[in-house]
Amino acid sequence: MSAGEIGSHFDMTGATISYHLSILKKAELVFETREKNYIYYDLNTSVIEEVMLWLSSLKEVNENESEH
């Protein structure tokens, strides 16, 4: 999505959306693609998958501890 499309889902200024997208880009959580006068942002799903695996492992540890 473009920054404008993303921003339409939130009650924030365009500058705030751009700031947050910049932070996410630096953290490699999103990628940007430039097409003509637009910048499109895509979620880095490999990072999200890693986070989900990590959260799943925490859940398993918690479940194993509660069994004892």
**CATH assignment at residue 35:** 1.10.10.10
Neighbours of 7 (CB within 10 A): 19
DSSP assignment of the chain equals -BHHHHHTTSSS-HHHHHHHHHHHHHTTSEEEEEETTEEEEEE-HHHHHHHHHHHHHHHHHHHHHHH-
Q: How confident is the model at residue 63, as a pLDDT? A: 73
Q: How confident is the model at residue 59, as a pLDDT? A: 81
Q: pLDDT truncated to tens, each residue of the chain (68 aa)?
A: 999 999 999 999 999 999 999 999 999 999 999 999 989 999 999 988 988 899 999 887 777 777 66
Q: What is the extent of the structural domain holding 45?
A: 3-67
Query: In the chain, how many domains are there?
Result: 1
DSSP symbol at 36: T
